[in-house]
Amino acid sequence: MSAAANPCLSCGACCAYYRIIFHADEALAIPAEYLEQIQSGVSCMKGTNIYPPRCAALRGEVGEQVSCAIYENRPSTCREFNEYELDGTPNMRCFKLRGITPPV
């Protein structure tokens, strides 16, 4: 998908809505200033364990233009949350956050 067609570059709603949680093994690749340990063996992205959540790695204005400060090292939770599922169906959580109706 080209950068121009990637809604993630203007949206960022998932980074400002969900708690981004993952196994502590993944934390080794993430800079410490972006991490919060929840319990033994479980971490989350700093800023997402409070209300309202906003990931500390999120840069920019949600709904305008955003980027991720650790994009290449983001956890699997982030890597796996896409506009479309692996089978090509719309990710309903993504479309709901963006407030749009998914294509049929």
Each of the 104 residues of the chain gets a pLDDT tens digit; together they read: 544 578 888 899 999 999 999 998 999 999 999 999 999 999 999 999 999 999 999 999 999 999 999 999 999 999 999 999 999 999 999 999 999 998 87
- 85-97 burial, b at 16+ Cβ within 10 Å, e below that, comes to eeeeebbeebbeb
In a domain, 60, yes or no: yes
In a domain, 103, yes or no: no
Residue in this structure with the two tokens 């980027």, named with its chain if needed? 67
**List of residues 6+ apart from 80 with CB closer than 8 A:** none
Q: Which structural domain range is residue 94 located in?
A: 3-98
In a domain, 104, yes or no: no
Structure token digits, residue 36:
């919060």
Question: How many domains, the chain?
Answer: 1
The tally of CA atoms less than 13 A away on the side-chain side of residue 24 is: 7
In a domain, 86, yes or no: yes
**List of residues 6+ apart from 99 with CB closer than 8 A:** none
In a domain, 35, yes or no: yes
